[in-house]
Amino acid sequence: MALVEDVFTGDISSITTIPETALGNGIIYMKADGVISGIKVAEEVFKQVDANLEIKLKATDGTHVKKGQAVIEITGSLRSILTGERVALNFLQRMSGIATKTHLMVTLIQDYPCTVVDTRKTTPLLRILEKQAVRDGGGKNHRFGLYDAVMIKDNHIKAAGGIMNAVQSARKQIPHTMKIEVEVENLQQVEEAIESKCDIIMLDNMDVNMMEAAVKRIAGKAIVEASGGVNENNIVEIANTGVNYISLGSLTHSIESLDISLDLYEKKVII
């Protein structure tokens, strides 16, 4: 779909300026340090453009790469290489940006028994790739969609008439293998969530003092997740409260793509 969006009826620039028989190779290389993600996705882009291209992967998803390092070499039709260039780089840059940001957050709290997870705040239709990038960066995935876990948020609580009503109603209708998570905003709701016997309690946009009080009150009766307003400046303080998981929408919705480029060479070169 991405290739159809970009190429549609043909790469006019390449078709009109490059002889059909022209061969060469291109090197995709890093213009910044980071954690690479999307190598296999970029490879698939070039395969779909031209199955005759020779593709050599010089890095593995989830590994640290340095500025100037080559990560993919493509040999074959120059037209085909340029046709696939932008789509491949778009996937590679965005996924690597996510992986790099995730790695930073994971590293900051590596001394705490706490796990960094993502959210559903992903680019439409790219969730599976963006969640892969989170894993490549050392984080874990929260639920993939609305279908794989019960997550009772503020509007569900309002519509159901309270936390207890919502949890009891859900428990009656789901298999015993499915977990129920409840989002809470204050200590009164924490008490209600504990009483409901839900599996996970999410502390939403609480300050650190309230989080500490909530974790102490929950005391292992449920898994505790912190969410809302988490960034590199406060994630350590949040991890120190004793929560089990920290979820960050910013891993996918407010990401800076990693700088990656492609250069063509008339003759095959190895970097």
Q: For residues 20 and 99, what is the distance between their CA atoms, to the nearest angstrom?
A: 37
Mean pLDDT rounded to a whole number for the chain? 96
Q: For residues 108 and 195, what is the distance between their CA atoms, to the nearest angstrom?
A: 34
Q: Specify the pLDDT at position 266.
A: 59
Averaged pLDDT, 97-121? 98
Strand order of the sheet with strand 260-265? Answer: 54-57, 70-77, 23-30, 260-265
Q: Is residue 270 part of a domain?
A: no
Active site residue 212: no
Averaged pLDDT, 56-78? 98
Active site residue 40: no
Residue 141 and residue 235 share a domain: yes
Active site residue 140: no
Residue 13 and residue 81 share a domain: yes
Choose, from 6, 58, 86, 120, the residue flagged as catalytic.
86
Taking only the tens place, the pLDDT of each residue in 117-135 is 999 999 999 999 999 999 9
Active site residue 121: yes
pLDDT at 269 over 60: no
Q: Locate 17 and state its tokens.
A: 């300026």
Q: Specify the pLDDT at position 106.
A: 98
Averaged pLDDT, 36-45? 98
Q: Residue 114: give the domain boundaries.
A: 106-253
pLDDT at 270 over 90: no
**Domain CATH for 8:** 3.90.1170.20
Choose, from 153, 216, 217, 221, the residue flagged as catalytic.
153
Phi, psi (deg, nearest 5) at residue 26:
-125, 150
Residue 89 and residue 160 share a domain: no
Binned at pLDDT 50, 70 and 90, residue 265 comes out as: confident
Q: For residues 43 and 49, what is the distance between their CA atoms, to the nearest angstrom?
A: 10
Q: Locate 97 and state its tokens.
A: 């940006």
Q: How many domains does the chain have?
A: 2
Averaged pLDDT, 8-21? 96
Averaged pLDDT, 148-156? 97
Binned at pLDDT 50, 70 and 90, residue 267 comes out as: low
Active site residue 183: yes
Taking only the tens place, the pLDDT of each residue in 192-210 is 999 999 999 999 999 999 9
Residue 88 and residue 15 share a domain: yes
Residue 47 and residue 158 share a domain: no
Residue 168 and residue 226 share a domain: yes
**Domain CATH for 156:** 3.20.20.70
3-class DSSP state for residue 181? strand
Choose, from 120, 121, 135, 143, the residue flagged as catalytic.
121
Please report where in the chains the tokens 């996918």 appear, as a residue. 252
Averaged pLDDT, 101-124? 98
